[in-house]
Amino acid sequence: MSIDMHMPILIVDDYKTMLRIIRNLLKQLGFDNVEEATDGSAALAKLRDKGFSLVISDWNMEPMTGIQLLREVRADAKLKDLPFIMITAESKSENVIAAKEAGVSNYIVKPFNAATLKQKLTTILGNF
């Protein structure tokens, strides 16, 4: 199965710099259809409004955190199977466990590079 390099991807982070970094890493990997949201509630509105193939979200955001966004996505019948990658500076095992229990597809600890992102994407999407 080939991966659609133009699939719509939503990246969610409250830091513009991090959004730019993630967008650039995705671009390096060949993905060019990327939209942004600066918090979980804005992301949820976009997800319900438009079809996305993947969400990459930061954990620590206000007013709605990444884990809250993940739980909302998994509770929504239309969105529940959407691949979801959580990004965080926290490598605490309880956070990883909480994300897994909430149904995260994969988990990335900051800082990370294109190779790490590609490896995490490959486990969800397949080789590209």
How many distinct structural domains can be found in the chain? 1
pTM of the model: 0.96
Q: What is the mean pLDDT of each run of 10 residues along the chain (128 residues)?
A: 90 97 98 97 97 97 95 98 94 91 96 96 94
User: What order do you get walking across the sheet with 34-37 strand by strand?
Assistant: 34-37, 9-12, 54-58, 84-88, 106-109
Q: What is the pLDDT of residue 11?
A: 98
Evaluate whether residue 96 is within a structural domain: yes
Give the angle 38-119-22 at the CA atoms, nearest 5°.
25
- The CATH number assigned to the domain holding 37 equals 3.40.50.2300
> How many Cβ atoms from other residues are within 10 Å of residue 45's Cβ?
11
Domain-located, residue 42: yes
CB 80 within 8 A of CB 74: yes
**Enclosing domain of residue 67:** 9-113
Establish if 127 belongs to a structural domain.
no
pLDDT for 90 equals 81
Asked if the structure places residue 102 within a domain, the reply is yes
- Is position 51 within any domain? yes
In a domain, 91, yes or no: yes
User: In this predicted structure, what is the pLDDT of residue 1?
Assistant: 55
- Least Cα distance to 103 among 83, 88, 87, 119 occurs for 83
